[in-house]
Every structure is written in structure tokens, then in C-alpha cells.
Amino acid sequence: MKNDFYTIAAFDYTAEAQVMKGKFESQGIEVFLKDEHTLDADPLISHAIGGVKLQVHINDKEAAMELYNELREYEVDRRGSRIMCPNCQKNRILIAPPRKKLLYLLFPFFEPTRYLCDDCGEIFNKK
């Protein structure tokens, strides 16, 4: 049997990955944490290597993605309320990846926070 793994998520810290691993294993999904020991040895290289990757066997991909979407944390506003997508009115909102414009690469703190709807893919700024 070939060992094909699928990366479900990446985490900056091993503790976050261990918590998620425990939740997956409690549902009977076997998990492999790639680069876990590397980050335990030197946590400052987390961004350089892409963090700790939570991987599952390719046969468990669908069940793992479904479980991860139930467990992941979505963005909330300052009052703690879930942010709504202006396109589909769902509340599964994530922080959108940064733009690749030179100004924002040099000065990332100038870029306003943009949000990404996990359901419809809409990228928007919160008003």
C-alpha cells in the first residue's frame, strides 16, 4: 500500500496541531504531523517551512475535511459575533491571503484586513 497523505491544515505552533490531532483521532481518523519535531527544535522557523502540517491518509480525506470544517475557528467581529458574507449570507469567514502588490509586501500593515467566505469564495472588506 502506498503512503499517500493529504494536508488538511497547517499550524504555526505544535500545540495547536496536537489539539486538532486529538480531535481527529477521537473520530477514528489517523493523523500524521509533518515537521512537528523540526518546529519543536526551533519554533522561529515556523513561517519559513510553512508550519506543522496536519496530514491524513488520502482515503480519509473527505471525512477529515468535513470534520475540519466543523472544528475550525471562523472570524468574528469586535463584539464576538460571526461575520456574514455579503454575497451568500453565510458565516464561515476566514482571513483572506495577502495581496502580492509591492506596497503590501514591503509594508503589510498598510493592507486593510480582507475576508474570504469559505462557502462561496467571495473576498470582501468588512464595512
Domain boundaries, the chain: 5-71, 73-127
Is residue 25 scored above 50 in pLDDT? yes
Q: Residue 92 and residue 76: Cα distance in Å, rounded?
A: 10
N-to-C CA span, the chain: 51
pLDDT of 60 reads: 92
Strands (E) in 1-127, as ranges, are 5-11, 31-34, 52-57, 93-95, 114-117, 123-125
The 10s digit of each residue's pLDDT in 63-80 is 998 898 888 777 777 787
pTM of the model: 0.62
pLDDT of 30 reads: 93
Question: Left, alpha or beta for 5 (phi > 0: left; psi -120 to 50: alpha)?
Answer: beta
Contact 67, 20 (CB under 8 A): no
Among 122, 67, 113, CA closest to 90: 122
Is domain 73-127 in CATH 2.20.25, yes or no?
Answer: yes
